[in-house]
Chain A
Amino acid sequence: MKRTSAAALLTAPLLLFLLLSFVAPIGAFLWRAASDSEVAPVLPRTVAVLAAWDGAAVPGEDAFAALVADLREARARDRETGAGSIPRAAARLNADRPGFRGLLPMTARRAEAAFDGPARDAVLAISDEWNQAETWGAIRRAGGPLSSFHVLTALDLRQDATGAIRAAPEDQSVFRAVLLRSLWISLLVTAACLALGWPLAWLIATAGGRASTLLLGAVMLPFWISLVVRTAAWMVLLQREGVVNVALRGAGLIESPLPLMMNRFAVVLAMVHILLPFMVLPLVATFRALDPRLPRAAASLGAAPWRAFLRITLPLSLPGVGAGCLLVFIQALGFYVTPALLGGPNDQMLAWFVGFYATRSVNWGLAAALSLMLLVAVGLCVALYGRLAGFRRPGAA
């Protein structure tokens, strides 16, 4: 008991530090995928009225009256404090239904003037948009405090005003394609790493002596060199007036420069280069741990070399191979820098979209939902890795 508590005490500072600098920030960020807090403070009455609405047709006068009252109050508050809550709510609603960014401030501005008669007529006179059920549906979906909107968007799904979930319109369905593209690039990179890494790892494990050390050095050196430097090196090699194109032209092999960059080929090539050590090192460890007597025993029992390989070497090295593949795959999934620098618009992976929605379009909810998707994929791989390689001996890089 005493021993355990002393151990806990020693780990406490680091755990506390990671809790504050890592776990809590990520938790708070991911929470944004499920929470929706921009619209409710601006339109509290409208959200309350819409809670009882069935979504089949445009809601009645009470909803319009609530909207006018809410917007007048919010506008007065914004003017007083300069908080800009209406534009923020409008931005959130615009993510659901394009056009809201202009519609909400405009309605707020024009609804401020006093009018006679029902609010419905006055609001409909401002914009015909308010005569559509989906406009009100967007407000209800954003009413919070929790919503599935961002997660559904990240899966290319939509909820309509009645609450039914269906596929998003064709022109807005991008994220499933992005997820599939990320998985596909990662898979391609993993396969290439395995194909290239296997012979090199086998050689390092079996050559012995100086050759083994030199080859291992060739793996370790790039492993230690900054990812940006290695990506830059590929840019220098592959660009239009780069080393490869100029050399090929100098040799008379090509007339005009080949388009080697800003495409899938460059992304995969550089990623394979960057991640290959993560495949080779676990493979070397696995091959070194193999008992060399076993294939020899198989041979002495009359097995052909290919048969000894298939029946002895391959099954014994499979856990290490699996671990190396997962290690590469996990890291490939989260790649940001290399596709951003070497890829075209159609080669960007999930990470790029997380960064895009977080900073350039300030849609934290969607960025969080996409991060959640990325983390789920990584989490599944880590769990698989744990079953395959075990967590007892985390491989020291």
Chain B
Amino acid sequence: MGRAVLWAAGVLVALFLLAPIVAIVPLSFSAGSFLFYPLPGLSLRWYQDFFGSDFWLPALWNSLGIGAAAAALATVLGTPAAFGLWRAKGAFRAVAMGVVLAPMVVPVIVVAVALLLAFGPLGLVATHTGLVVAHAALGAPFVVVTVLASLEGFDPVQLRAAAACGAGPLRAFFRVCLPQIAPGVAAGAVFAFATSLDEVVVALFVAGPAQRTLPRQMFSGLNDQISLTTTAAAAMLVAFSVLLLLAVSWLQSRSRRRASG
């Protein structure tokens, strides 16, 4: 009896989590122009609209470009930092960890407004560079945390063995450590990319019309009448998220297998 109630509650909550997404995706294939069911028919007209539009397609490219650049920057900076933090000890580690993880907890509105103020005199407001820098700062903690987690499965004795064989610390890192934690690094990069792809508040304050990302474009489309092209954009973002989720689960299972094997 108790178990049945538990199952009912759990399944209902799972449905609550999935329902809005399941509800919005089919609407984007509607042949009509209303945001409710039943659909008058199926068509790809809203996707045609999306790919033919002057602002949705650039927004898609902006999202992908800025996300890739921000993820690359966050990964290049975050991977060595994670390695350093893994080896570090004591007060330095605690302070550095605090700084590195701060972007995860500081409300993003504070970051957005502060960057708007700081970027002004530097000429970085409404530039791609500015948005990439901001998104890299927001994504870096995810890289560090993910790489640190995969370093848990790495035996540091191997580094000493490499040193005994005459490899310098740099060589040891690139030849011995990095190949083993590569899935973790890749997962971190995917996290950073997803962070940038999701991010809207910083884009709202710091980006100009030329840097409009997909979520930013959606946000401005949501203030007035929602068009079905917006639901097509949403459906595409959902598809991206699913791909990224699958990529990360695959990478993490590989990383775990390496750690245990």
Contacts and interface: CB of A to CB of B under 8 A. Distances in A.
B259 interface: no
Secondary structure dominating the interface of B:
helix
Interface string B46-83: 00000000000000000000000000000001101101
Interface in A355-393: 355, 358-359, 364, 367, 371, 374-375, 378, 382, 391
B44 interface: no
Contacts of A18: 99-100, 102-103, 137, 140
A246 B37 contact: yes
A227 interface: yes
A330 B104 CA distance: 10
Interface in B107-137: 107-119, 133-134, 136-137
A351 B109 contact: yes
Nearest to A234: B20
Given A197-B13, A341-B223, A11 B80 contact: yes
A355 B110 CA distance: 8
B117 A28 contact: yes
A215 B110 contact: no
B144 interface: yes
A209 to B, nearest CB: 14
B27 to A, nearest CB: 7
A148 to B, nearest CB: 20
B105 A241 contact: no
A215 B7 CA distance: 11
Contact of A337 (B85, B96, B219): B219
Contacts of A232: 24, 218, 222, 226, 230-231, 234
A6 B87 contact: yes
A113 interface: no
B34 to A, nearest CB: 7
Contacts of B85: 7, 11
B181 interface: no
Contacts of A236: 20, 23-24, 27, 35, 226, 231
A199 B136 contact: no
Chain A interface helix/strand/loop/mixed: helix
A164 interface: no
A8 B81 CA distance: 8
Given A21-B136, A21-B137, A241-B36, A227 B107 contact: no
Contact of B112 (A7, A226, A355): A355
Interface stretch (A47-55, A150-158, A217-225): A217-225
Given A10-B81, A242-B35, A334 B109 contact: yes
Contacts of B210: none
B29 interface: no
Contact of A241 (B35, B83, B234): B35
B145 A7 contact: no
A354 interface: yes
Contact of B205 (A11, A228, A355): A355
A115 interface: no
A189 interface: no
Given A225-B241, A243-B37, A396-B146, A203 B10 contact: yes
A179 B14 CA distance: 32
Given A29-B117, A199-B13, A228 B215 contact: yes
Contacts of B222: 228, 231-232, 235, 341
A364 B114 CA distance: 10
Contact of B96 (A15, A221, A382): A15
A378 B102 CA distance: 11
A293 interface: no
A235 to B, nearest CB: 6
B242 A4 contact: no
B237 A226 contact: yes
B107 A14 contact: no
B211 to A, nearest CB: 16
Contacts of A224: 194, 241-242, 244-245
Q: What are the 3 tightest A-B residue pairs by CB atom distance, in nearest-first order? A: A334-B107, A10-B84, A25-B118
6 contacts: A10-B84, A17-B136, A229-B234, A232-B231, A334-B109, A336-B109
Given A199-B10, A241-B34, 18 more contacts: A11-B80, A18-B99, A18-B100, A26-B111, A28-B118, A29-B110, A32-B117, A196-B13, A228-B215, A236-B226, A237-B20, A239-B226, A305-B2, A337-B200, A351-B109, A367-B113, A371-B114, A375-B107
Interface of A: 3-4, 6-15, 17-19, 21-26, 28-30, 32, 196-197, 199-200, 202-204, 215, 218-222, 224-237, 239, 241-243, 245-247, 273, 276-277, 305, 330, 333-334, 336-337, 341, 351, 354-355, 358-359, 364, 367, 371, 374-375, 378, 382, 391, 394, 396-397
